[in-house]
A and B are shown apart, each in its own frame.
Chain A
Amino acid sequence: MKPFVDVQNLTIRYETRQENALSSVSFQLKFGESLLLLGPSGSGKSTLTSCLNGLFPRELDGEMHGKIFVDGRENRDLLPGERSRKVGVVFQDPETQFCMLTVEDEVAFGLENLGIPNEEMELKIDAALTLVNMLSFKKASISSLSGGQKQKLALACILALEPALLIIDEPTANLDAIATKEFIETIKALRDKVTFSLIVIEHKLDGWTDITERCVLLNRQGEIFYDGSIRQALREQRQQLTREGIWIPRVTQFVLEQHPLLSNPPLTIEEFRENPLPIKEERIADHVSISSKPLVQARHLSWSAGNKEIVKDVSLTFHKGEFVAIVGANGSGKTSLSRILAGIRQPTNGSLLVKGKSLSKWKEAQLRQEIGYVFQNPEHQFITNTVYDEVAFGLKWKDTETIEIEKIVNDILESFGLLELKNEHPFSLSQGQKRRLSVATMIVDDQSFLLLDEPTFGQDSHTNTELMGLLKQRHQTGATIVMITHDMDIVADYATRVIVIGDGAVLADCSPHELWKMPIDKLMYWKLELPISVQLKKIYEGAASYVSTTT
């Protein structure tokens, strides 16, 4: 059988870069086959998408060599209208894939482009929305949807065009754990209903391993270093996978840490359940003592936007030396609460004390030396024109000598691997470098109370490990850290205290250990998942007690 997609020796180089974005990439895909394409950020994954959907070479500033055949025809010869019937793409960012205001109009948009007669549209729209379980949202406005629903809508828009090849380009990078799970389930269910070839482009393996066994791995140079089964890759390429910063499934990683010699590690929780192994819970103990003196006290805080009360009567006390994780479902008011705690937003009611002094009595400049806040998108916080100035900025507020500033800045840039980029504009850095720079500035600023809004969102595994390492360091040198996160593994590994927020109020405030012991249906209701380590341990203990009671 002739392959449906045939990529031959594809090489792409951008005008502005020395190195190739993709180097001699070749692979084939049969009709109806699925493929996972994995690579760290900067490995040319998105470049490949642009080639497959025909944007390149037309819009490319640079050189392209090699050929791409889709359904036996060279891709660049297809007209855009024709191509959209063959290749459909769901992109990463749920916010920017739409041009209409309501769900039905958006699905119709693609059909209109193809000139589908008006009488047939309604049926096709309903069918596409049914496939992703979104029919009840047909008349809804797009801005009222959650991120996960938006991605499902993007999928429906593409499915309505009935493409033979579906490419999904990091579709879950901007989604939380639960929405991610749901999206992957949707794709899985689709495979049984419709026949199409599928390319999943990702830097995280979790959840996708059920869909296909085949994976193609890209390295940072944009070359394919592996094409074959995932299991074999985990056996033979484990080191390279880690070196390239590709997330291997967390279950696999965790089991391998404890049983490094395992030749066929489980890829999912289900696989572990079939073959449970003893799990020790090893938590790297923190030797930071928690002071009894309160650092930040919130008393009966509430905050409303319009008529809606977003934060409801929250009273919390933070002590020096704590590492607090704030968890809860999307839209539960976590971000709003954190902004109030940082003093960016005025509460409608209640008061905030920092070091025993009411917030209104603090001078803005001094307050900013006490409280730091790290936003999700690092770009938002860049204020100067070079990497060097960005780090030096915080020091200029404190009366530091010029020579000293230079030394401190250079040291920090060195340790973050940013020294050779010190004259670049912060916006010209790669995503990972931007995140590192934003953390560097926060370390220089050296605030004693640091709030972070989901800083690990959409990062590859390298950047993530680095970031958490640095936070840990800050914590050990005396900072109090409060972090919003969806990642329960991070809570398990780092937090000394966890606060569950739901519907604007505090639902639980305890140690992570106590949280894991809570009834599972309560956690489900709060939309929380247990961390992998705890889940595996429970499965093993369950299996062990089953064995001991039956024998």
Chain B
Amino acid sequence: MFLQQLNPSLKALTIMVFIIFLATIFEPITPLLFLIWTVLITFLFGKVSWKKYLLYFSPFFIFALGMLWTSIAFADPPINPDEAINILSWSLPTENVLTALALALRVLNVAALSLLFVFTTNIVHFILSMMQQLKLPPRIAYAVLAGYRFLPMIRDELKIIHDAHLIRGVNQAKTPKEKMQNYKRYAIPLLASAIRKAERTAIAMESKGFTGDKNRSFYRQFTIGKLDFIFPLIMLIGFATAFFVSKQLGF
């Protein structure tokens, strides 16, 4: 459960730094090894359910495969047969294959890093920590938090409006054009109520003394301690090792 206890802001920064690092790598070995490292860390220190992980990871995997396929399929035929790889009676330039692999693995790496963050971080804590460590203005932070509460409400509301219109006999839409018109019809009641709700929330927040001022105290306090730096360190060790191995292999 170590990953859950880390300071969310520092965790996010670390992940961003490594995504930038990865963007500078154009060979496949470093991203491959680092990918294994990241997934390993996620499961060792994050207590993430692997079913859920696979479910969220699979779209990225499909996307990466697609990228790999297109960059190989549209590669130019090899000029020099010595620098070619044969896959299923296909002759492809080694350079192109390696770049394609590197790109696909980069996508998977970004996915793995993001999932590590998403699965081990409470979104509310992240926003609160951003206010405390990264000086995010409270005005924006609390707007996001209030909006986060709104999402399920809007979903329920849309369902009700859909039902209500069905009852009045509008919903016999068959063509896409009619469907568009129906959605246009939902937009007005949905927006009207969303605006009203947002306004009420804003008034309620203000009457509890919210001014958007930066001088506020915090009930949940987030700090950065020595332990928080272990995570960037672990990741750095993984990345450096991957890079070193790849160099040893001659990439």
A-to-B contact residues, CB < 8 Å: 50, 53, 55, 79-81, 83-85, 87-89, 91, 93, 95-101, 104-105, 108-118, 121, 125, 142-143, 154, 157-158, 161, 339, 342, 344-345, 364-365, 368-369, 371-373, 375, 377, 379-383, 393-394, 397, 427, 441, 445
Establish whether residues B169 and A368, one from each chain, have CB atoms under 8 Å apart when the complex forms: yes
Establish whether residues B168 and A394, one from each chain, have CB atoms under 8 Å apart when the complex forms: yes
Bound-complex Cα distance A445 to B219 (A) = 55
Bound-complex Cα distance A143 to B156 (A) = 13
Establish whether residues B166 and A121, one from each chain, have CB atoms under 8 Å apart when the complex forms: no
Establish whether residues A112 and B170, one from each chain, have CB atoms under 8 Å apart when the complex forms: no
Contacting residues, chain A, for B167 (C-beta < 8 A): 342, 344, 368, 371-373, 381
Bound-complex Cα distance A453 to B205 (A) = 31
With A53-B207, A110-B209, A113-B210 in contact, do A121 and B153 touch (Cβ < 8 Å)?
no
Q: Indicate whether B124 reaches chain A with its CB closer than 8 angstroms.
A: yes
With A88-B207, A96-B200, A112-B216 in contact, do A143 and B168 touch (Cβ < 8 Å)?
no
Q: Which of B137-156 contact A (CB under 8 A)?
A: 142, 145-146, 148-149, 152-153
Establish whether residues B197 and A96, one from each chain, have CB atoms under 8 Å apart when the complex forms: yes
Bound-complex Cα distance A84 to B209 (A) = 5
Please provide the 6 A-B residue pairs with the shortest distance between their CB atoms, ordered closest to farther: A84-B209, A108-B219, A113-B209, A110-B208, A99-B146, A380-B164
Q: Indicate whether B217 reaches chain A with its CB closer than 8 angstroms.
A: yes
Contacting residues, chain A, for B203 (C-beta < 8 A): 50, 53, 55, 91
A229 to chain B, nearest CB (A): 30
For B163, B167, B172, B220, the residue with the greatest tally of chain A CB atoms inside 10 Å of its CB is B167
Bound-complex Cα distance A85 to B1 (A) = 41
Contacting residues, chain A, for B188 (C-beta < 8 A): 427
Contacting residues, chain A, for B146 (C-beta < 8 A): 99
Q: Indicate whether B193 reaches chain A with its CB closer than 8 angstroms.
A: yes
B167 to chain A, nearest CB (A): 5
Establish whether residues B216 and A98, one from each chain, have CB atoms under 8 Å apart when the complex forms: no
Establish whether residues B160 and A112, one from each chain, have CB atoms under 8 Å apart when the complex forms: no
Contacting residues, chain A, for B67 (C-beta < 8 A): none
Closest to A427 in B: B192
Q: Within the complex, which residue of B165, B207, B213, B221 is in contact with A118, where a contact is CB–CB below 8 Å? A: B221
With A117-B217, A339-B163 in contact, do A91 and B204 touch (Cβ < 8 Å)?
yes
Give 14 new A-B contacts, CB below 8 A, not counting A111-B219, A445-B168.
A53-B207, A80-B210, A89-B204, A93-B197, A98-B201, A98-B204, A99-B201, A101-B149, A104-B219, A105-B124, A116-B217, A125-B219, A143-B152, A373-B164
Establish whether residues A100 and B145, one from each chain, have CB atoms under 8 Å apart when the complex forms: yes
Q: Within the complex, which residue of A89, A101, A339, A342 is in contact with B207, where a contact is CB–CB below 8 Å? A: A89
15 contacts between A and B (CB under 8 A): A53-B203, A87-B207, A88-B208, A89-B204, A89-B207, A95-B153, A97-B204, A100-B149, A110-B209, A113-B210, A115-B216, A118-B221, A344-B167, A383-B168, A383-B170
Bound-complex Cα distance A339 to B166 (A) = 12
Establish whether residues A93 and B200, one from each chain, have CB atoms under 8 Å apart when the complex forms: yes
Q: Indicate whether B211 reaches chain A with its CB closer than 8 angstroms.
A: yes
Contacting residues, chain B, for A397 (C-beta < 8 A): 169
A430 to chain B, nearest CB (A): 14
Establish whether residues A101 and B124, one from each chain, have CB atoms under 8 Å apart when the complex forms: yes
Establish whether residues A427 and B153, one from each chain, have CB atoms under 8 Å apart when the complex forms: no
Q: Indicate whether B215 reaches chain A with its CB closer than 8 angstroms.
A: yes
Contacting residues, chain B, for A344 (C-beta < 8 A): 163, 166-167
Bound-complex Cα distance A91 to B199 (A) = 12
Tell me the total A-B contact number using a CB cutoff of 8 A. 150
A59 to chain B, nearest CB (A): 9
Establish whether residues A96 and B204, one from each chain, have CB atoms under 8 Å apart when the complex forms: yes
Closest to A53 in B: B207
Please report the total number of B residues contacting A with Cβ < 8 Å.
45
0/1 per residue, B182-207, Cβ < 8 Å to A? 00010011001100010011011111
Bound-complex Cα distance A352 to B60 (A) = 44
Establish whether residues B197 and A112, one from each chain, have CB atoms under 8 Å apart when the complex forms: no
Contacting residues, chain A, for B172 (C-beta < 8 A): 364-365
Contacting residues, chain A, for B50 (C-beta < 8 A): none
Contacting residues, chain A, for B166 (C-beta < 8 A): 344, 368
Establish whether residues A99 and B145, one from each chain, have CB atoms under 8 Å apart when the complex forms: yes
A460 to chain B, nearest CB (A): 19
Q: Indicate whether B161 reaches chain A with its CB closer than 8 angstroms.
A: yes
Contacting residues, chain A, for B206 (C-beta < 8 A): 53, 55, 80
Bound-complex Cα distance A72 to B148 (A) = 40
A82 to chain B, nearest CB (A): 9
Establish whether residues B211 and A81, one from each chain, have CB atoms under 8 Å apart when the complex forms: yes
Bound-complex Cα distance A475 to B152 (A) = 37
Bound-complex Cα distance A83 to B207 (A) = 8
Q: Indicate whether B74 reaches chain A with its CB closer than 8 angstroms.
A: no
Q: Within the complex, which residue of A84, A91, A116, A381 is in contact with B168, where a contact is CB–CB below 8 Å? A: A381
Bound-complex Cα distance A84 to B206 (A) = 8
Bound-complex Cα distance A342 to B166 (A) = 11
With A99-B146, A365-B169 in contact, do A375 and B216 touch (Cβ < 8 Å)?
no
Bound-complex Cα distance A113 to B217 (A) = 7
B86 to chain A, nearest CB (A): 52
Closest to B144 in A: A99
With A143-B152, A342-B167 in contact, do A91 and B200 touch (Cβ < 8 Å)?
yes
A124 to chain B, nearest CB (A): 10
Establish whether residues A427 and B189, one from each chain, have CB atoms under 8 Å apart when the complex forms: yes
With A88-B207, A344-B163, A379-B192 in contact, do A97 and B200 touch (Cβ < 8 Å)?
yes
Contacting residues, chain B, for A53 (C-beta < 8 A): 203, 206-207
Bound-complex Cα distance A101 to B168 (A) = 36
Q: Within the complex, which residue of B185, B207, B218 is in contact with A112, where a contact is CB–CB below 8 Å? A: B218
Bound-complex Cα distance A74 to B194 (A) = 34
Bound-complex Cα distance A81 to B200 (A) = 18
Contacting residues, chain A, for B211 (C-beta < 8 A): 79-81, 113
Contacting residues, chain A, for B192 (C-beta < 8 A): 379, 427
Establish whether residues B209 and A114, one from each chain, have CB atoms under 8 Å apart when the complex forms: yes
Contacting residues, chain B, for A97 (C-beta < 8 A): 200-201, 204
Establish whether residues A382 and B189, one from each chain, have CB atoms under 8 Å apart when the complex forms: yes
Q: Within the complex, which residue of B149, B161, B193, B219 is in contact with A99, where a contact is CB–CB below 8 Å? A: B149
